[in-house]
Amino acid sequence: MAYDTIITFCDGTRCMHTQGRALQAVLEQELERCQIKDRVKITLSGCLGMCDKGPIMVVNPGYTIYGNLQESDIPEIVAEHIVKGNPVSRLVIQEDHLYNRFFRIFGDAKFFGKQMRIALRNCGIIDPENIDDYLALNGYEALAKVLTEMSPTEVIAEVKKSGLRGRGGAGFPTGLKWQFTAEQEGPDKFVICNADEGDPGAFMDRSAIEGDPHTVLEGMAIAGYAIGAKKGVIYIRAEYPLAIDRLYKAINQARKYNLLGDNILEAGFDFDIEIRLGAGAFVCGEETALIHSIQGARGMPRPRPPYPSVSGLFGKPTLINNVETWANIPVIMLDGAEWFSTIGTEKSKGTKVFALAGKVVNTGLVEVPMGTTLRQIVYDIGGGIPGNKKLKAIQTGGPSGGCLPEDYLDTPVDYESLAAAGSIMGSGGMIVIDEASCMVDIAKFFLEFTQNESCGKCTPCREGTKRMYEILERITAGEGRDGDIEKLERLGNMIKKSSLCGLGQSAPNPVLSTIKNFREEYEEHIREKKCRAGVCKELIGYSVNDNCIGCGACKKACPVGAITGKTKSKHEIDAEKCIKCGMCIATCKFDAIIKA
């Protein structure tokens, strides 16, 4: 059947939540009604990355992207665009950057403006639930090539040559890890995909799997061949139902096509993958805790060495890589390590996916070559800070990362540079913070998370992060004391150096980095009992200025009756009664209420 139009719905978790599927139904009805159903194909795609504009619908040819759609928009699009060929301009996403550009040139070109999609190369392009879509874009060709043309040693050499480093956070050279596991004797080895993405606000792994599950399977199978493993396990958190569903479908399809299972592609190589669900503990992203969890035990890390490459799952040599790392493997095998290693910086090769969030115009997934600066990501790709606000900091690396101030905007994102600046790459969280945020409060937020997620095993992390959190609570409540900053530093440095696993070793980072870069805010909180961003409730007071015309709107809005004043004369706020809820500010039309 020949189609002249293909309409693709973004079927990522976020778009689905915003009624993407309902739109699809309306569209089908509408096409039926106009009797043009035969010439229009409807497909689903993984996350396009334009999460703040969902639900998204793409019409091809023409690469027209519609966003923020409602059911009532559909008949107009069908009538005007599909039937008459005139895109409905008021609904088209007009921004001229990566989102639409990478569509137009996908397949051949290497670069899409500032963004470059390797790990996410198929996301948003293929139907993730259809293996044929993946196959059509060179899917499983890398596996076929490896099985038929390369020895395991050559595969590992290629990965090493590519310079690929672990995308889970630590940045350990992937090829070395493969080599260590391959060097272990014995027939029983395991390959594990770490999809236990737990950073608050991060969704790189989820979107990568939802958009292109097969690339992960292919990457794992290639590794299985390289290190001599017959069994792979994907450890994914249970709160990713769509990703899990797509993985199951992908595994079944791959088995059917003999791309998983016994004697794959008749090359004498057996490899199969099973899925294990995690219960959503952040610490289970730590490899030894993850292994314990797969084994049915409580997810608690154990001291290393021995590393999993020597003694991992069920005591067998085990290779663990993160989702994004796996997604790079087929590309490296097909396009070659030499090409791959031209991307990025000297020590950090390839691209990195970030979940861009916070006070930035375009939030969503971005994949950029290593070495792209924070400024390029935030301003060129992210579109800058909304509301004419000033950028205050960029938090990278998730809850265990650090906050970098504006001066660091030209820091290139790569493992070394971010570490040198006092933050980490982490798994790819990137949160933009504007001047309306209080840095002490931000540090407290992240520490609360890591402190709650501590497994409780080692003393520094279990007890120490709690004490740090208590000190931060005190400071933000206006009860900070002299010496608190020094205590935070003393505890923080001790916890970093003494904790058992990466969670504890990085948990103090948000605090230490904000002390380093925003020490004056801490000092203001402690000495002047002042929160310059007006976030810490205990430290702010509301008052009325001379703009007040005595309209009485604020008096009505105040839930606790803290505002008094006669009509047409300046009102007053009783600080004793005021609960600092902000209702008065929201109500006042004359900017007469100030918060300080």
Interface residues toward another protein, by CB under 8 A: 281, 283, 298, 300, 302-303, 305, 451-460, 462-467, 470, 487, 490-491, 494, 496-500, 505
The rounded distance, in Å, linking the Cα atoms of 341 and 160 is 10
Tell me how far, at minimum, the Cβ of 422 lies from another protein, in Å.
Answer: 15
The rounded distance, in Å, linking the Cα atoms of 131 and 133 is 5
The rounded distance, in Å, linking the Cα atoms of 40 and 198 is 39
Side-chain-side CA neighbours of residue 212 (13 Å): 32
**List of residues 6+ apart from 14 with CB closer than 8 A:** 47, 51, 54
Full DSSP string of 29-66: HHHHHHT-GGGEEEEEES--S-GGG-S-EEEETTTEEE
Q: Which of 265, 200, 197, 264 is nearest to 232 (CA)?
A: 264
Tell me how far, at minimum, the Cβ of 495 lies from another protein, in Å.
Answer: 9
The rounded distance, in Å, linking the Cα atoms of 323 and 232 is 13
Measured from the CB atom, the residue of 329 and 491 that comes closer to another protein is 491
Tell me how far, at minimum, the Cβ of 457 lies from another protein, in Å.
Answer: 5
Measured from the CB atom, the residue of 12 and 312 that comes closer to another protein is 312
Measured from the CB atom, the residue of 343 and 488 that comes closer to another protein is 488
Q: Looking at this protein, which amino acid is placed at residue 93?
A: I
Q: Which of 321, 373, 109, 366 is nearest to 215 (CA)?
A: 321
Chain length of the chain: 596
The rounded distance, in Å, linking the Cα atoms of 448 and 465 is 8
Tell me how far, at minimum, the Cβ of 458 lies from another protein, in Å.
Answer: 5
Tell me how far, at minimum, the Cβ of 461 lies from another protein, in Å.
Answer: 8
The rounded distance, in Å, linking the Cα atoms of 304 and 500 is 9
The rounded distance, in Å, linking the Cα atoms of 299 and 293 is 5
Question: Burial code of 449-465, b = ≥16 C-beta within 10 A, e = fewer?
Answer: bbbebbbebbebbbebb
Tell me how far, at minimum, the Cβ of 300 lies from another protein, in Å.
Answer: 7
Tell me how far, at minimum, the Cβ of 181 lies from another protein, in Å.
Answer: 19
* Three-state secondary structure call for residue 129: coil
Measured from the CB atom, the residue of 45 and 293 that comes closer to another protein is 293
Tell me how far, at minimum, the Cβ of 277 lies from another protein, in Å.
Answer: 18
Q: Which residue has the tokens 């933000």?
A: 476
Measured from the CB atom, the residue of 342 and 459 that comes closer to another protein is 459
Measured from the CB atom, the residue of 106 and 180 that comes closer to another protein is 180
The rounded distance, in Å, linking the Cα atoms of 514 and 443 is 7
Q: Which of 308, 310, 286 is nearest to 299 (CA)?
A: 286
Q: Which of 395, 350, 384 is nearest to 175 (CA)?
A: 350
Q: Which of 97, 227, 223, 231 is nearest to 164 (CA)?
A: 223
Measured from the CB atom, the residue of 376 and 423 that comes closer to another protein is 423
Tell me how far, at minimum, the Cβ of 470 lies from another protein, in Å.
Answer: 4
Measured from the CB atom, the residue of 121 and 457 that comes closer to another protein is 457
Tell me how far, at minimum, the Cβ of 467 lies from another protein, in Å.
Answer: 4
Tell me how far, at minimum, the Cβ of 138 lies from another protein, in Å.
Answer: 41
What residues does 369 pair with on adjacent strands?
351
Measured from the CB atom, the residue of 260 and 300 that comes closer to another protein is 300
* Three-state secondary structure call for residue 7: strand
Measured from the CB atom, the residue of 454 and 509 that comes closer to another protein is 454
Q: Looking at this protein, which amino acid is placed at residue 194?
A: N
The rounded distance, in Å, linking the Cα atoms of 384 and 386 is 7
Helix (H) or strand (E) holding 429: strand 429-434
Measured from the CB atom, the residue of 186 and 303 that comes closer to another protein is 303
Q: Which residue has the tokens 């790079």?
A: 328
The rounded distance, in Å, linking the Cα atoms of 12 and 50 is 10
Measured from the CB atom, the residue of 496 and 537 that comes closer to another protein is 496
Q: Which residue has the tokens 């279990």?
A: 462
Measured from the CB atom, the residue of 29 and 505 that comes closer to another protein is 505
Tell me how far, at minimum, the Cβ of 557 lies from another protein, in Å.
Answer: 37
Tell me how far, at minimum, the Cβ of 534 lies from another protein, in Å.
Answer: 27
**Other CB atoms within 10 Å distance of the CB of residue 86:** 10
Handedness of CA 531, 535, 541, 544 (dihedral sign): positive
Measured from the CB atom, the residue of 464 and 480 that comes closer to another protein is 464
Tell me how far, at minimum, the Cβ of 275 lies from another protein, in Å.
Answer: 23
